[in-house]
Amino acid sequence: MSVFKLSWKYLIDRPLNTILNVLLLALGLSIITVLLLVEEQFENKVNRDAAGIDMVIGAKGSPLQLVLSSVYHVDFPTGNIPLKEAQKVSRNRLIKNAIPMALGDNYEGFRIVGSNHDYLNIYQAELIDGKKWEKPFEVVVGSKVAKAKGFKVGDTFIGAHGIEAASHQHDQHAFQVVGILAPSNNVLDQLIVTSVESVWYAHDEEIGSEKLGNQVNATGFPESDETRELTTVLIAYRSPMAAIQLPRMINGRTSLQAASPTFEMSRLFELLGIGVVVMKGLALLIIFIAGLGIFIALYNSMKERKYDLAVMRAIGAAKSQLFLLILSEGIILTFLGAIGGLILGHFFLLLIVITNEQGLVAGLNAITFTDKEWWVIVYALMVGVLASIIPAWNAYKEDIAGQLSK
């Protein structure tokens, strides 16, 4: 019988010790796995969602909140801004493109975003069915929205005020689905996108029939003779010089606020970094305790099996075989712990994504396997070797005559 078979047989003969050691190690490694998956995917998702957006203009308040609500759609908007003032700022020669947005409504938790076709274009969005909106109250829905709510082209629904599901409904007029977006692996997947006019009219007490029949602007700002407001404007710079001059000018000379998605998300990553370090420290502590548990288990088992090991030596087993016997038990335990940790880590991330369908982690993939996860297995095997090296060495130098004479 091979060394590994003997090691495996001994481990399954003591199922409780084996399971507890494997589970403890798997728990620590699962935390490491979740952090590795989130760290790699989260940054990529943040960059994808902010692609083509150099600056956000909105109401005075927290610049981070402005970016989160306007670009990533995960926070409350800072307020509304006058349409006229937003148009005036957008005419600056340093601005290449300005995309108006009207926010503040939802359908069962999925946010309704009023904008123009340029908003879809910055993400290079494609339709798998239908067309883009042309009139008020026509919408296109993201792939996750369509899947979650079973939307098809031609379906209608009633929007609600606010960004949470249990809100007052705007039942004056229903939205109609005219297009369904292809999966894009960015924020569009969980949005309902329509014209700015649709959001305006949803809040009006009375809507003239002539307004409902008018075509809406596919690009640029919406036209209105009334005093209207926007929530935010997404800006693309014409030249790098704009990054220096525009924010200072807007923040200092207007009633508006300018915020950079890149800068604000860098600040957020710095804040989150502290939590990540703490979590990694906790995971390493759990792994250390698991390694210590494996060491104690192997050391005690070696003491219990001194006579058995001596008999094995007497019938011809080499010292190196006894050494490998104990060492392989540690390696088997930690390998099982590594596999269990990877499975648990992906499962935990799946639960996080499922419970946050409209959150910032909604686009993370719990199924994908990253190259860094191979190091989880390597690290676990190193723990196994270190935990079993002393018990294995004691087995190697065990006195045969002394044990058999007892």
- Tell me the pLDDT tens digit for each residue of 50-105: 888 999 999 999 999 999 999 999 888 999 999 999 999 999 999 999 999 999 89
Which residues are paired to 69 by β-bridges?
none
The per-residue DSSP string of 16-43 comes to: HHHHHHHHHHHHHHHHHHHHHHHHHHHH
- Give the integer Cα–Cα distance in Å for 257 and 181: 31
pLDDT for residue 7 is more than 80 = no
Instruction: Average the pLDDT over each of 102-106, 189-193, 320-324 and give the range with the smallest value.
Output: 320-324
Mean pLDDT of 227-247: 92
The domain spans of the chain are 3-46+268-404, 55-259
- Number of Cβ within a 10 Å radius of residue 396: 18
Supply the mean pLDDT for the chain: 84
Q: How far is CA 193 from CA 76, 139, 238, 399, in A?
A: 17, 6, 26, 78
Single-letter amino acid code for the residue at 343? I
pLDDT in tens, 296-312: 777 776 666 666 666 67
- Give the integer Cα–Cα distance in Å for 243 and 169: 40
- Give the integer Cα–Cα distance in Å for 221 and 204: 19
- Number of Cβ within a 10 Å radius of residue 285: 11
For residue 298, give the nearest of 338, 330, 328 by alpha carbon: 330
Q: Are 104 and 202 in contact (CB under 8 A)?
A: no
Single-letter amino acid code for the residue at 16? L
Beta-carbon contacts of 42 under 8 Å, excluding residues fewer than 6 positions away, are 360, 361, 364
The per-residue DSSP string of 106-157 comes to: EETTEEEEEE-HHHHHTTT--EEEE----STTEEEE-HHHHHHHT--TT-EE
Q: How far is CA 64 from CA 68, 160, 162, in A?
A: 6, 25, 20
Q: Is the pTM for the entire model greater than 0.85?
A: no
Backbone dihedral angles phi then psi of residue 59, each to the nearest 5 degrees? -75, 155
